[in-house]
Amino acid sequence: MANVGDKVKVFCKNDVLEGVLMPEEDSNIIFLKLVSGYNVGLKKSEIKKIEVLKKYKEISEKSSKPVMKKGLKTISILHTGGTIASKVDYSTGAVIAKFTEDDLLNLFPEIKGLANIKSKLVRNMQSEMMRFPHYNILAKAVAEEVKKGVDGIILTQGTDTIHYTSAALSFAFEGLGIPVIIVGSQRSSDRGSTDSAMNLLSAALFITKTDFSGVGVCMHENTNDKICWILPGTKVRKMHTSRRDAFRPINAGPIARINYEKETVTFATTYEKKDLKKKLTLKLFDEKLKIGLIKPHVHMYASEFEAFKNFDGLVIELLGIGHIPSMKVDEFTGENEKILKAVQSLAKKMPVVVAPQTIYGRIDMNVYSPGRDLIKAGVIGNYSDMTPETAFIKLAWLLSNHKKDVKELFEKNLRGELSERSEREEFLI
């Protein structure tokens, strides 16, 4: 008789499948975890036979209480959830989060030779559920570890909003003298193609091997397991739903490449160097702010903009080099004039800023009439090459800390979010 956790071969009417038997969620269906890591549900009525290939035997993990070794740097790992530090418990079929120092040493034993590890759970949640208060919580958690004198910090979270978090922390920290590297995993730990170990170990290697300071993101450069890179906190974006190399630098290059196998780090640009004498100051977010983000499109209505009339600020993702549907050109486009009036009205009430919907490239609203109309309407951010997500975070941060100077500071490079020039080589890097 097959039990949960057993490796089995299931003979169906039209197929034969092998996998691990998972807990039942429906009395009419059995669930298998395939070798690929994916789960499949099979109707019991279509199953001819189940053959047990290997009985499940729970393996007790040996406790290896962490010992602080002299000569090794100390890294604090702060967790917010995600799959980076988790594994499958086949007695329940669940992916269990592992957050203690002992857990991490069991999951990633290679890290013992790199650094002394401290580990702390800050939050356990999906990254898409985060709000401004969570950025303040994370910033304060980092500040606590900085006070303890650690050499670097790794922050783990789900990948969906890593680029929001990296931008938020980049702005929140002033006088950061050590590295804060954000790490995620595109593939869960129960899949053979998981990238969790490589990303985490590469981040640790980077911290121990370099004198970098600042906020960065460590993820795969490509789909193999040889190279990870460090990406700038305000110039990174998730560009694929599932690929391991989903995170790309936007209108910029990577900070560094890490070959974990060879234990080498190669910098690709200049960077701020570690300075333990710096005094960290936190510039946190107003947790009650309402910031909108709107994507113009064809057949748009003014009411879509008017929906943000009670917000504190708005980011518009401009079409092309800097446009929205704002001009009446024939008998079908009268609504466009109403759209421009709606933007004018909003800009009188709140900061309305812009970012390129194309993601790559730079806005220049002076080129065509629709763009010049937006400048007259009072929108902010001409010549910006910020991603929409970074523009969203920067606007929220400015309204939280520099409300009177939003127009001046939004168009000024504060944390590497604006490039001085656009390089041809940085497109689709």
Check whether residue 113 and residue 232 sit in a common domain. Answer: yes
Per the domain annotation, does 112 fall within a domain? yes
The range of the structural domain enclosing residue 169 comes to 73-282
* pTM (predicted TM-score): 0.86
Check whether residue 218 and residue 339 sit in a common domain. Answer: no
Check whether residue 120 and residue 94 sit in a common domain. Answer: yes
Determine how many CB atoms are found less than 10 A away from the CB of residue 9: 15
The DSSP letter of residue 226 is S
Check whether residue 260 and residue 332 sit in a common domain. Answer: no
Number of DSSP helices (H) and strands (E) in the chain, helices first: 9, 22
Radius of gyration of the chain (CA): 25
Tokens for 149, please give them: 């004198």
Per the domain annotation, does 129 fall within a domain? yes
List the CATH number of the domain containing 77. Answer: 3.40.50.1170
pLDDT for residue 82: 64
Check whether residue 240 and residue 110 sit in a common domain. Answer: yes
Stated as kind and residue range, the H or E segment containing 249 is: strand 247-249
pLDDT for residue 94: 53
Check whether residue 386 and residue 244 sit in a common domain. Answer: no
Per the domain annotation, does 91 fall within a domain? yes
Check whether residue 176 and residue 134 sit in a common domain. Answer: yes
- How far apart CA 181 and CA 7 sit, in angstroms, is 38
Check whether residue 297 and residue 271 sit in a common domain. Answer: no
Per the domain annotation, does 47 fall within a domain? yes
Check whether residue 212 and residue 306 sit in a common domain. Answer: no
132-147 vs 162-172: helix axis angle to the nearest 10? Answer: 60
List the CATH number of the domain containing 366. Answer: 3.40.50.40
User: Reduced to 3 states, what is the DSSP secondary structure of residue 312?
Assistant: coil
pLDDT for residue 39: 80
Check whether residue 141 and residue 173 sit in a common domain. Answer: yes
Catalytic residue set: 83, 159-160, 238
Contact status, residue 163 vs residue 252, Cβ threshold 8 Å:
no
Contact status, residue 426 vs residue 253, Cβ threshold 8 Å:
yes
Per the domain annotation, does 419 fall within a domain? no
The answer for residues whose C-beta is within 8 angstroms of residue 367's C-beta and 6 or more apart is: 321, 322
Check whether residue 207 and residue 273 sit in a common domain. Answer: yes
Per the domain annotation, does 416 fall within a domain? no
List the CATH number of the domain containing 16. Answer: 2.30.30.520
Distance of CA 69 to the CA centre of its chain: 32
The answer for residues whose C-beta is within 8 angstroms of residue 98's C-beta and 6 or more apart is: 85, 86, 87, 104, 106, 107
Check whether residue 104 and residue 175 sit in a common domain. Answer: yes
Q: Which of 229, 256, 282 is the last residue of a domain?
A: 282
Per the domain annotation, does 139 fall within a domain? yes
Per the domain annotation, does 140 fall within a domain? yes
- Provide the domain count of the chain: 3
Q: Which of 282, 304, 328 is the last residue of a domain?
A: 282
Digitized pLDDT (tens) for each residue of the chain, 429 residues in all:
888 888 899 999 889 999 888 887 678 898 888 877 678 889 899 999 999 998 887 655 555 556 788 889 999 999 987 666 556 555 555 555 556 666 666 777 788 889 999 988 898 888 999 999 999 999 999 999 999 999 999 999 989 999 999 999 999 999 999 999 999 988 665 555 678 889 999 999 999 999 999 999 999 999 888 899 999 999 999 999 999 999 999 999 999 999 999 999 999 999 999 999 999 999 999 999 999 999 999 999 999 999 999 999 999 999 999 999 999 999 999 999 999 999 999 999 999 999 999 999 999 999 999 999 999 999 999 999 999 999 999 999 999 999 999 999 999 999 999 999 888 889 998
